[in-house]
């Protein structure tokens, strides 16, 4: 699988050794600002081509990513690497390790794990996908004198070539603790092991009880071990689900020891049907000298059905005050600072990236689209009409795109130097929905925002408080996002698509939710933020635990104007089951809470609570769950409005 963030002391040694011994292919200034992003703001994927299982290390102020080549087993005979000094622009180094330099490897070279020690660079890898102990293969280790290789087999045989504790020898991760002890974590087939590495990094040590391998398998584990340490706590991450399926995901556990025990705490990364599927097999990096962390992983574009069509991505990873990890939302941004338009697909027109902008030549309907599928959202971008008297703007809820002026199904909002902002929809023909006067100068950049929630569509230009267009249309519910020109050339920049924001927007909709133990698996906390109370008697969060609670992560600190709670009767149950007593609190860090609402004698089906508060986390605490002696809490929706 992957590997990374070593202990602080080990990182310092590695950085010093790298500085003295490594060839600085991509020199970076020590004074260069630390990359501080909310996601890959230059756009995911960050590398061209099909790759998976990325692992990342920092050598001499340069970030090195080593992935699996995502092809058929017989074609997985080499490993590439990617390097960056700023997490924005990346240089590819092909064939850093090939089967020609590993006498026992034939195919299925997987999940390289990098580490630096003893003046050498080590790359741990799996090969041959062995199915039993009679087969040759397993986990090997290669060495090189520089990060980009070439790497050569250090042993002439696998380091781990047998099944122990049921763990297939694949998906290795290497971690060096602050005391200098190195560990290797690995395992497929639903079993995870840890072993000690000796100081030579090419042989295995033993634990105090004389054993070489300790099983540390947490609940739900499938493959892809990843270990890192932060503030004295050890984090084990792993992948769950099937690697070709949409359910592939990442979960984690915490411990005070590098050997566990590890008890699953939560799933932190999973598919988002608006962004990508099959998100998993991760690694983690800490920006040196900061508490900025990123998760690197692979994912499959929504339109792809080939299991090997996986791409490399990264997103910001945050921590709560108690060290736990909030669920990670895959961001959709592109400021084109990396000089490319990876992830965009064009339909007509001429397109290029220059000067950190996406440039469209004049055409009658040239389009460029991301492979997204947003329903309710806010879409921001900077738009400049650089020549022509036509218009340029944003496509949203788009499907069936093709070359042609109106060859798509979806909506378009654009600005024109003729003095207007226009909104319309297309279905291989054009229907204007609204237009309003607006002074637009050629060569001037304007900030466009579209917020669509249900049938409501609002279009903003520069002034984000008052929409230029505010209308409704129910024709299209979801689809891709992109940009378009008509009889004009244009430049686009700072593209961002995410959850809807603004007045009247339910900030809790489909956000990560946790709570006390549910009455049934089908009545978990997620049902209270799914935006509906019409799904029948199970379309609710139900918990029979005393002092039940429900917590929602809004993703970032938000200004909140009101809460709404839909109780049992709102979902069709008896009024006697409406929540009687409850409080609502907010928090910026998930630890320190401020009470905003206190209700002691409710009987209503839906309660509305105007407030003036802010917070990232919202927690509903139940005092008295019903009007009767029934002990089960029933919350059909918890809504939070900005």
- The domain spans of the chain are 8-27+39-330, 344-498, 513-641
User: Taking a C-beta distance cutoff of 8 angstroms, is the pair 503, 485 a contact?
Assistant: no
Predicted structure pTM score? 0.81
Q: Which class does domain 513-641 fall in?
A: mainly beta
Radius of gyration of the chain (CA): 26
Looking at the DSSP bridge assignments, the partners of residue 84 are: 63
Q: Which of 153, 113, 130, 112 is nearest to 73 (CA)?
A: 130
With CA atoms as reference, report the closest residue to 128 among 136, 117, 140, 118. Answer: 136
Map residue 20 onto helix, strand or coil.
Answer: helix
HEC string of 325-340 equals: CCCCCCCEEECCCCCC
523 belongs to the catalytic site: no
Per-residue pLDDT tens digits for 544-590: 999 999 999 998 888 898 999 999 999 999 999 999 999 999 999 89
Residues of the chain with pLDDT under 50: 1-30
The whole-angstrom separation of Cα 247 and Cα 277 is: 8
CA atoms within 13 A on the CB side of 163: 15
- For residue 258, the SS3 value is coil
Beta bridge partners of residue 496, listed in sequence order: 333, 380
Same fold? 8-27+39-330, 513-641? no
For residue 559, count CB atoms less than 10 angstroms from its CB and return exposed for 0-12, middle for 13-18, buried for 19 or more. Answer: exposed
- Is the separation of the CB atoms in 489 and 362 below 8 Å? yes
> C-alpha 460: how far from its chain's center?
28
Look up residue 517 and give its DSSP letter: P
Is 53 in the active site?
A: yes
Q: How far is CA 412 from CA 19, 424, 472, in A?
A: 52, 5, 14
Tell me which of 223, 380, 391, 553 is the catalytic residue. Answer: 223
β partners of residue 505: none
Q: What is the pLDDT of residue 5?
A: 40
Using DSSP, state whether 15 is helix, strand or coil. helix
Q: Is the preceding omega at residue 261 within 30 degrees of 0, hence cis? A: yes
Class for domain 8-27+39-330, per CATH?
A: mainly beta
Q: Which CATH class, in words, describes the domain spanning 344-498? A: mainly beta
Query: pLDDT, tens digit, for every residue of 280-293?
Result: 999 999 999 999 99
Distance CA 302, CA 137 (A): 34
User: 107: helix, coil or strand?
Assistant: coil
Note the pLDDT tens digit of each residue in 162-210: 999 999 999 999 999 999 999 999 999 999 999 999 999 999 999 999 9
DSSP letter at 418 equals: T
Model pLDDT for residues 388-399, shown as the tens digit of each residue: 999 999 999 999
Contacts 24+ apart (CB under 8 A), 23-26: 23/146, 24/60, 24/62, 25/62, 25/83, 25/91, 25/146, 25/147, 25/148, 26/62, 26/83, 26/84, 26/85, 26/91
DSSP three-state, residue 155: coil
Q: What are residue 168's DSSP bridge partners?
A: 188
User: b/e for 179-216, b at 16 or more Cβ within 10 A?
Assistant: eebbbbbbbbeebbbbbbbeeebbeeeeeeeeeebbeb
- Distances 261 to 63, 191, 232, 234 between C-alpha atoms, Å: 31, 14, 15, 10
User: What's the pLDDT score for residue 96?
Assistant: 98
Determine the pLDDT at residue 31: 52
**Element housing 18 (H / E):** helix 8-21
**What's the DSSP call for residue 19?**
H
């Amino acid at each position: 699988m992957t590997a990374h963030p070593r202990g602080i002391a080990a990182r310092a040694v590695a950085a010093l050794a790298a500085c003295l011994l490594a060839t600085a292919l991509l020199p970076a200034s020590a004074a260069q600002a630390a990359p501080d992003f909310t996601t890959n703001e230059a756009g995911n994927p960050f590398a061209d081509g099909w790759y998976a299982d990325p692992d990342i290390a920092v050598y001499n102020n340069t970030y090195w990513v080593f992935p699996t080549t995502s092809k058929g087993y017989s074609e997985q005979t080499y490993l590439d690497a990617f390097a960056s000094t700023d997490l924005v622009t990346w240089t590819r180094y092909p064939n850093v390790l090939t089967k020609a330099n590993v006498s026992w490897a034939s195919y299925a070279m997987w999940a390289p794990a990098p580490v630096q020690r003893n003046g050498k660079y080590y790359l741990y890898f799996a090969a041959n996908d062995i199915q039993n102990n009679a087969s040759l293969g397993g986990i090997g280790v290669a060495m090189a004198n520089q990060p980009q290789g070439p790497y050569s087999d250090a042993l002439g045989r696998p380091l781990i070539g047998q099944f122990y504790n049921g763990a297939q020898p694949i998906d290795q991760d290497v971690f060096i603790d602050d005391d200098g002890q190195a560990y290797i974590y690995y395992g497929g087939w639903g079993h995870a092991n840890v072993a000690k590495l000796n100081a030579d990094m090419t042989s295995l040590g033993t634990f105090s009880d004389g054993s070489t391998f300790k099983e540390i398998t947490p609940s739900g584990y499938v493959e892809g071990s990843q270990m890192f340490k932060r503030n004295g706590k050890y984090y084990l991450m792993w992948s769950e689900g099937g690697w070709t399926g949409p359910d592939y995901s990442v979960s984690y556990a915490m411990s005070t020891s590098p050997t566990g025990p590890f008890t699953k705490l939560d799933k932190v990364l999973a598919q988002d049907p608006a962004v990508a599927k099959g998100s998993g097999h991760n690694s983690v990096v800490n920006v040196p000298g900061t508490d900025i962390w990123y998760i690197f992983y692979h994912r499959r574009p929504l339109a792809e059905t080939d299991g090997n069509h996986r791409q490399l991505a990264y997103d910001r990873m945050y921590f709560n005050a108690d060290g736990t990890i909030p669920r990670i939302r895959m961001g959709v941004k592109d400021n084109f600072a990396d000089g490319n338009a990876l992830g965009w697909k064009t339909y007509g027109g001429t397109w290029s990236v220059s000067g950190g902008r996406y440039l469209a030549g004049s055409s009658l309907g040239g389009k460029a689209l991301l492979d997204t599928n947003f329903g309710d959202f806010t879409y921001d971008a900077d738009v400049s009409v650089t020549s022509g008297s036509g218009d340029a703007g944003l496509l949203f809820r788009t499907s069936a795109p093709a070359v042609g002026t109106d060859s798509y199904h979806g909506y378009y909002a654009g600005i024109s130097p003729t003095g207007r902002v226009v909104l319309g929809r297309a279905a291989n023909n054009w229907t204007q929905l609204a237009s309003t006067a607006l002074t637009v100068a050629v060569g001037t950049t304007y900030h466009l925002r579209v917020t669509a929630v249900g049938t409501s569509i609002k279009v903003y230009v520069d002034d984000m408080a008052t929409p230029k267009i505010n209308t409704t249309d129910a024709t299209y519910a979801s689809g891709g996002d992109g940009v378009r020109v008509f009889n004009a050339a244009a430049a686009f920049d700072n593209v961002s698509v995410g959850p809807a924001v603004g007045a009247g927007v339910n900030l809790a909709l489909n956000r990560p939710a946790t709570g006390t133990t549910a009455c049934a698996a089908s009545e978990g906390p997620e049902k209270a933020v799914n935006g509906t109370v019409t799904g029948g008697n199970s379309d609710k969060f139900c918990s029979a635990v005393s002092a039940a609670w429900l917590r929602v992560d809004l993703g970032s600190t938000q200004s909140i104007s009101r809460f709404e709670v839909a109780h049992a009767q709102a979902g069709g149950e008896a009024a006697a089951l409406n929540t009687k007593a409850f409080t609502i609190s907010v928090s910026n860090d998930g630890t320190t809470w401020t009470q905003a609402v206190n209700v002691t004698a409710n009987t209503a089906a839906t309660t509305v609570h105007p407030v003036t508060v802010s917070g990232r986390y919202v927690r509903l605490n139940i005092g008295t769950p019903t009007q009767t002696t029934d002990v089960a809490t029933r919350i059909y929706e918890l809504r939070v409005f900005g």
